[in-house]
Amino acid sequence: MPGFSCHPGGLIPRSDPERAAWETAVWLDPLRAVAIIDSLLGQGLTDRGALAAMADHNADRPGGRRARWLFDLADGGAQSPPESHLRVRLILGGLPRPVVQHPIRLPTGVVLHPDLAWPEYRVAVEYDGQWHSDADQLHRDRRRLNLLVGAGWLVLHVTSRRLHGEFPAVLREVRAALASRGWRR
C-alpha cells in the first residue's frame, strides 16, 4: 500500500521527505527545522522545486507562510546542524545571506570552501566544532586560514561555545567585518 509501511502492530503511515520537511517547518523551532531541511536537501532526499511545490500546495493551511519562509532559508550545502544554526542566526540578525561552501580558487589552483562566505566582501566564517581541537585538524585549519588570509579574505572562526553562549558578540564581529569591507545595511 503506498504511503504505508508494515509494522508488527499493523500498517502505520509513512512520510515522504517533502511531507517531513513540511511538518518540521510547521512544528519545530526555526533553527532546528532549517537544520533538518538542510540535511534533507544535502542528502538529495528532496530539492528546492519539490519544497516549493509542497509550500504552494499547502499555502492556505495553518503554518503555510512559516513553512515557505523556512524552506527559503534552507541550504543543502550546510555540512552540519551547527553550521545551519549559525547561518540562520546571522541572517535573522540582519546580515546578508552568506553563500554556503563557496569555492575560492587560489592562484596555486587549490580550491577552498569556507563554511559561510560573502564573496563580494571577501569575508568568510568558519564553524569550529569539537573535532577541530584535534592536533591534526588544527594544523589543517590553520593552513587553510593562512591560505585564505593570503588571498585577501577576512576569516572569522566561531566555536560551539560562542555560537550558543556569546552569539550577540559573534553577530557584532561578523557585522563589523562585513562593514570593514564595504557592506552597508
Q: Are strands 111-112 and 4-7 parallel, antiparallel or unpaired?
A: unpaired
pLDDT for position 134: 62
For the segment 135-170, what is each residue's pLDDT rounded down to a tens digit? 676 767 788 888 898 999 999 999 999 999 999 999
All residues at 6 or more sequence positions from 152 whose CB lies less than 8 Å from its CB, including other chains:
122
Q: How far is CA 177 from CA 45, 115, 117, in A?
A: 36, 16, 12
For the segment 51-69, what is each residue's pLDDT rounded down to a tens digit? 999 999 999 999 999 999 9
Say what the pTM is.
0.86
Burial code (b: 16+ CB inside 10 Å, e: under 16) for 48-82 equals eebbeebbeebeeeeebeebbebbebbbbbbbbbb
pLDDT for position 93: 97
Query: Which segments in the chain show pLDDT lower than 50?
Result: 1-2, 4-5
CATH of segment(s) 77-185 = 3.40.960.10
pLDDT for position 178: 98
pLDDT for position 144: 84
37 touches 69 (CB < 8 A):
no
pLDDT for position 90: 98
Domain boundaries, the chain: 9-76, 77-185
Q: What are the beta bridge partners of residue 159?
A: 128
pLDDT for position 143: 86
